[in-house]
Amino acid sequence: MRYLILSDIHANREALEAVMEAAHAKYDRIVCCGDLVGYGADPGWVIEWARETRFDALVRGNHDKACAGLDDLEWFNASARASALWTRQVLGSGELAFLANLARGPVGANGFTAVHGSPVDEDEYILHAREAAEAGAYLDTRVTFFGHTHLQGGFQILRNAARPLRMSPVELEPDWDYLINPGSVGQPRDGDPRAAYCIYSSEDRVVEFYRVAYDVAKAQSKIRGAGLPRSLADRLARGA
């Protein structure tokens, strides 16, 4: 089975459409590690897409939780808070209920697991090998997909030690555990502004990372037109 792994779409319709088109012949099933909304200008469209999509695993992200009103916004910076409040205003009650009912990770699928932040805490960032090694004790399956950092890549872990994954494709080695981040569809932060995703082939035990260019200018102009903080538009061009 080939899985399309998505994360951190962040209401970016242009990026999501580009990914779905680029990936369409590469996968059989879909997994999403959360943050459908927040930051971007198309939360309703992305929620509609999610409602029509059959996911093998779909977990909520911290922005989904915040936009649904399940979290106060005290940990959010000013632009994240402004976008969460805007998103709450523009969504209807059915859309907010959809966000509120998203599952909290970890969610298991066929031999792997999806989480938003870490296996322990959906709000926790796994940025470095040290954090990946600590998370290693809490993994339910050999392969776990995560998001939240908006950094494509991840870690392989063996006996309390972790090292970053360097190359694509990644051939999964026996005995190692893997924490794999497909990168962010809608707001990459690893210096590459192109939308990110990965494909996991469970039979071949291979993960391939991909980037796809999309209409950044259109996504930016919608963000500006909605009166959202301009920094949220500007950063899309930098991938930062």
- Region from 33-41, 74-82, 101-109, 230-238 binding Zn ion, contact rule CB under 5 A: 33-41
Measured from the CB atom, the residue of 126 and 172 that comes closer to Zn ion is 126
The residue type of 147 is G
C-alpha 86/C-alpha 18 separation (Å) is: 25
- Region from 7-15, 101-109, 127-135, 225-233 binding Zn ion, contact rule CB under 5 A: 7-15
Q: Nearest distance from residue 109's CB to Zn ion, in Å? A: 20
Residue 58's SS3 state is strand
Contact by Cβ (8 Å): 16, 9:
yes
C-alpha 83/C-alpha 63 separation (Å) is: 9
Q: Nearest distance from residue 46's CB to Zn ion, in Å? A: 13
- Region from 30-38, 47-55, 109-117, 229-237 binding Zn ion, contact rule CB under 5 A: 30-38
In the complex, residue closest to Zn ion by CB: 35
The residue type of 160 is N
Nearest to 237 by CA among 208, 209, 211, 215: 215
Measured from the CB atom, the residue of 8 and 95 that comes closer to Zn ion is 8
Token reading at 104: 């909290």
Indicate whether 64 belongs to the interface with Zn ion (CB under 5 A): no
Residues 6+ apart with CB under 8 A from 234: 220
Instruction: Name the residue with tokens 């995703």.
Output: 197
Residue 188's SS3 state is coil
Measured from the CB atom, the residue of 62 and 144 that comes closer to Zn ion is 62
Indicate whether 35 belongs to the interface with Zn ion (CB under 5 A): yes
Indicate whether 42 belongs to the interface with Zn ion (CB under 5 A): no
Give the other-Cβ count within 10 Å of 233's Cβ.
Answer: 22
Q: Nearest distance from residue 193's CB to Zn ion, in Å? A: 16
Q: Exactly one of 4, 5, 8, 207 binds Zn ion (CB under 5 A); which one? A: 8
Q: Nearest distance from residue 172's CB to Zn ion, in Å? A: 25
Measured from the CB atom, the residue of 8 and 124 that comes closer to Zn ion is 8
Alpha helices in the chain (DSSP H): 13-23, 43-52, 62-67, 78-90, 93-100, 129-135, 216-225, 230-238
- Region from 11-19, 27-35, 160-168, 172-180 binding Zn ion, contact rule CB under 5 A: 27-35
C-alpha 41/C-alpha 55 separation (Å) is: 23
Measured from the CB atom, the residue of 35 and 56 that comes closer to Zn ion is 35
Total of chain residues touching Zn ion, rule CB under 5 A: 2
Residues that bind Zn ion (CB under 5 A): 8, 35
